[in-house]
Structure 1
Amino acid sequence: MTEGDEPTGVPANTPYPRAVRSFVTRAGRTTTGQARALADLGPRYVLAFDPNTPDLAAACTSKASAEGKPYTRVVLEIGFGMGAATAHIAALQPETLFIGCEVHEPGVGALLKTMGEQGVENIRIVQHDAVEVLAKMIAPASLDGIHIFFPDPWHKKRHHKRRLIQPPFVHELAARLKPGGYLHCATDWQPYAEQMLAVLGEDPLLANTAQDYAPKPEYRPLTKFELRGLKLGHGVWDLVFRKR
């Protein structure tokens, strides 16, 4: 059995383990520009984690429509890092409202700074663990898409149980998609890509849009890290599944 064939260690019919989180604690300092963006733009674009808002997508689109900015689609992104890809995709798809979950303040500040500089307005941010956001604030069949780009691969075998893409969580993700909605994952770690392919392929609510791995969708930009890896011969794997 190869490392990529390792089972997740979590039966598909058990609740998603609360010890697993959508983020890894990272060190980082918020820059002056990021702090300024947090202060200036945070009140408008950063939303509080609120379990009393059980349908965040509907609440956001309803408010935006009242402000004269109707959105036809809602996409959730889990762990947007410094937000460069998020801002890029949002600029390409102004009819779509993107809800990004990221716990790290420098990343939230960086995305807000980029939004201000580029005039991107169709993004809302929840600075909280996406596992809880999904469980408490995202209603079933309320999303048109979900992006999970380069989640922590937890390279060591004994840490595989900490990986985000596991059967119970994937099933919760699929349940939040509208029929025909998509789940797009990407990773640069082949054993994790193999696990993702197996886990997503086993969920009864999802169907693969490709025979195995998908061509990189045009909307997903190449990051500096990814470009550096490709020059060194490293691979990147995209997986795009649709809700049946």
Structure 2
Amino acid sequence: MTTPEDTSTTPVSDAPEATDAPFMRTIKTYVLRAGRMGPGQTRAFEQFGPKFLVPYSAERLDVQASFGRSAPLILEIGFGMGDATAKIAQVRPDDNFLCCEVHEPGVGALLKRCGEESIANIRIVQHDAIEVMDNMLGENSLDGVHIFFPDPWHKSRHHKRRLIQSPFIQRLARHIKPGGYLHLATDWQPYSEQMMAVLRAEALLVNTSDAADGFAAKPDYRPLTKFENRGLKLGHGVWDLVFRRV
């Protein structure tokens, strides 16, 4: 999930990055940030929330009842404003997408898309994905996981806040079914290198890419965002990592 950068002027260190920075004591998949709800987003909670919102519970989720069908289950962690999420769900109608986001305007925006465009294969949990995985889903429950453009926390002193570190990936991998996949994407090269090192070190995951650097070609289902298109025109890179659970 993308969150605002720290705006202080301390320069980013040029020193090589370790695979993992000292990890925060409590793993969280989000950082709360302020945001203003538009009237359309507010109405979406009232109009479409009953259908598409799944309340957090400490008990196992009845996935078939929540979606009204049995289908492969993909977890998305941190969908921002939900544009890419909506597009992926539309091009993959045979999959169910359970999407975790705590940013209320983003939840409202995706609810609005789901309702107005009749995107029936999305359900949203407005809660931390770690607790959702552990309590509502359990191990070996997911056919895939998407984490696109998580906050890179550019400054060295903030690297401990990065989501993609070994303790989190070890925990996440156990929730993916054997044969399921984990797809990460970032536009910050130092973070992509850390991601690669962390995923390669996880015994439950194997890289699906045979490229020399280990990075995957962008899967067709992941759309280019406006921000990404702008960056690519400026010569900025984007790195996709697709690993499979063994």
Considering the TM-score relative to the shorter chain, is it more than 0.5? yes
Does the CA contact (< 8 Å) of 1:4 and 1:194 recur in 2?
no
Q: How far apart, in 1, do the equivalents of 2:245 and 2:136 lie?
A: 20
Moved more, 2-11 or 87-96: 2-11
**Pairing of 1:189-228 with structure 2 (within 5 A):** 189-211=188-210, 212-228=214-230
Structure 1 unaligned residues grouped into runs of 5+? none
Q: How far apart, in 1, do the equivalents of 2:37 and 2:15 lie?
A: 37
Deviation at 1:7, TM superposition (A): 3.4
**Pairing of 1:229-240 with structure 2 (within 5 A):** 229-240=231-242
1:21 aligns with one of 28, 34, 43: 28
Moved more, 131-140 or 30-39: 131-140
Deviation at 1:110, TM superposition (A): 0.3
Q: Within the alignment, does 1:8 sit opposite 2:43 as a pair? A: no
1:138 corresponds to which residue? 137
Distance 1:224 1:179, change over 3 A: same
Counterpart amino acid of residue 56 in structure 2: F
Counterpart amino acid of residue 28 in structure 1: G
Q: Find the residue that maps to 2:73 and give its secondary structure.
A: strand
Q: Find the residue that maps to 2:215 and give its secondary structure.
A: coil
Q: Find the residue that maps to 2:242 and give its secondary structure.
A: strand
RMSD: 1.7
1:149 corresponds to which residue? 148
Moved beyond 6 Å, runs of 4+: none
Q: How far apart, in 2, do the equivalents of 1:104 and 1:185 lie?
A: 20
Does the CA contact (< 8 Å) of 2:67 and 2:123 recur in 1?
no
Q: Find the residue that maps to 1:5 and give its secondary structure.
A: coil
**Pairing of 1:33-112 with structure 2 (within 5 A):** 33-53=40-60, 56=61, 59-65=62-68, 70-112=69-111
Q: How far apart, in 1, do the equivalents of 2:157 and 2:108 lie?
A: 33
Does the CA contact (< 8 Å) of 2:67 and 2:96 recur in 1?
no
Does the CA contact (< 8 Å) of 1:77 and 1:146 recur in 2?
yes
Distance 1:7 1:198, change over 3 A: closer
2:3 corresponds to which residue? none
Counterpart amino acid of residue 17 in structure 2: D
Q: Find the residue that maps to 2:45 and give its secondary structure.
A: helix
Q: How far apart, in 1, do the equivalents of 2:203 and 2:82 lie?
A: 31
Q: Find the residue that maps to 1:47 and give its secondary structure.
A: coil
Q: How far apart, in 2, do the equivalents of 1:3 and 1:22 lie?
A: 26
Deviation at 1:4, TM superposition (A): 5.5
Deviation at 1:47, TM superposition (A): 1.1
Deviation at 1:203, TM superposition (A): 0.2
1:243 aligns with one of 234, 242, 245: 245
TM-score relative to the length of structure 2: 0.89
Deviation at 1:141, TM superposition (A): 0.6
Does the CA contact (< 8 Å) of 1:61 and 1:97 recur in 2?
no
2:187 corresponds to which residue? 188
Residue-pair matches, total? 231
Q: How far apart, in 2, do the equivalents of 1:72 and 1:125 lie?
A: 16
Q: Within the alignment, does 1:163 sit opposite 2:166 as a pair? A: no
Q: Find the residue that maps to 2:140 and give its secondary structure.
A: coil
